[in-house]
Amino acid sequence: MQKVSTAVIAAENISAWYGSNRAVIDISLGVNPGEVLALIGPSGCGKSTFLRCLNRMHEEIDHTRSEGRVLYKGEDIYSDDVDPVAVRSCIGMVFQKANPFPTMSVAENVAAGLRLRGGFSRSEIESRVEGALRKAALWEEVKNKLRAPGTSLSGGQQQRLCIARALAVQPEILLMDEPTSALDPISTGRIEELMTELKKSVTIIIVTHNMQQAARISDQTAFFLMGKLVEHGNTEQIFNSPTREETENYISGRFG
């Protein structure tokens, strides 16, 4: 496959279990650098689980396991000599619900990954915090309240703060699990805008239940159904001329 060879991250035959329940079934899927891949599908079809397999977060839940390979720049992140901690510092994650660290200020939140990892000078941290906040399109709004508690920001700002927090450690890939599903349309729009800017420097894989959002922001779209990958292709093609009937049904809103 030509796609896999150029992909910055590619899953190969990934399956994932919760106990004996197989939530992801034999999925192979890759993204090219600088592209946005959207994962769509009805709820419970394994999008989040698949996403969490891509930075080894799935294994942090008790009684789970996975099979298959995930090649990040050609190297399998599941091979025995790879430290999951190192994997996650290259492949960051933003969650559905904004969750700033509660006892930390805006600046401390963004700096948390760097501070706790250690080895960064104060000025380096400061410039990275500003850089990350700018990339998350939040700098102008918070530059005068960097010391305010992170939780004092509005919902949309908190989510962008979480994006900044993930960006500060400078991952090459950002996994986003329904990052706007809890936000109002204006905040959602702002995050969509910043994603088109972001994809110049990071590759993004985003789970979304919002068809329009997937159509607006992604280059590639993958449609999941009951743990399986049904169809994957250019976003335009998936939305305008899907090859599979299930995809068409889902996109036209006939189920899901």
Partner 1 sequence: MSKADAPRLPRIQRRRHFKSLMANAVIMTLAGFAILPLILVFSYIARSGFPALNLDFFYKLPAPAGETGGGMGNAILGSVAMVIMSGVMSIPPGLLCGLYVAEFSHQKLARLLRFVIDLMTGVPSIVIGLFAYAMLVVPLGGFSAWAGSAALGIIMMPIVSRTTEEILRLIPDQLRESGLALGLPRWKVLLRLIMRAGRSAIATGVFLAVARASGETAPLLFTSFNNQYWSKSLSEPIASLPVQIYTYAISPYEEWHRLAWAGSLILVTVVFAINLLSRLLLKRTSN
Ligand X SMILES: Nc1ncnc2c1ncn2[C@@H]1O[C@H](COP(=O)(O)OP(=O)(O)O)[C@@H](O)[C@H]1O
Is residue 48 a contact residue for Mg ion (CB under 5 A)? yes
Q: Which is nearer to ligand X, 49 or 203 (CB)?
A: 49
Is residue 208 a contact residue for ligand X (CB under 6 A)? no
Q: How many CB atoms lie within 10 A of CB 60?
A: 10
Nearest distance from residue 152's CB to partner 1, in Å? 11
**How many whole angstroms from its chain centre is CA 121?**
28
Which of Mg ion, ligand X, partner 1, none is residue 237 near (CB under 5 to 8 Å by kind)? none
- Strands 75-76 and 64-72, by their bridges, are antiparallel
Is residue 49 a contact residue for ligand X (CB under 6 A)? yes
Nearest alpha carbon to residue 156 among 133, 188, 132, 134: 188
Which of ligand X, Mg ion, partner 1, none is residue 146 near (CB under 5 to 8 Å by kind)? none
Pairwise CA distance, residues 164 & 232, whole Å: 29
Is residue 155 a contact residue for ligand X (CB under 6 A)? no
Pairwise CA distance, residues 167 & 128, whole Å: 9
Nearest distance from residue 90's CB to partner 1, in Å? 8
End-to-end CA gap in the chain: 31
Is residue 61 a contact residue for ligand X (CB under 6 A)? yes
Q: Which is nearer to ligand X, 25 or 90 (CB)?
A: 25
Q: Which is nearer to ligand X, 23 or 94 (CB)?
A: 23
Summarize the chain as % helix, strand, coil (round to 5).
40, 25, 35
Beta bridge partners of 67: 15
Pairwise CA distance, residues 56 & 46, whole Å: 15
**Local structure of 111: helix, strand or coil:** helix
Which of ligand X, partner 1, Mg ion, none is residue 45 near (CB under 5 to 8 Å by kind)? ligand X
Which of ligand X, Mg ion, partner 1, none is residue 44 near (CB under 5 to 8 Å by kind)? ligand X
Which of ligand X, Mg ion, partner 1, none is residue 150 near (CB under 5 to 8 Å by kind)? none
Q: Which is nearer to partner 1, 48 or 247 (CB)?
A: 48
In the complex, the residues that contact ligand X under the rule CB under 6 A are: 18, 21, 23, 41, 43-49, 61
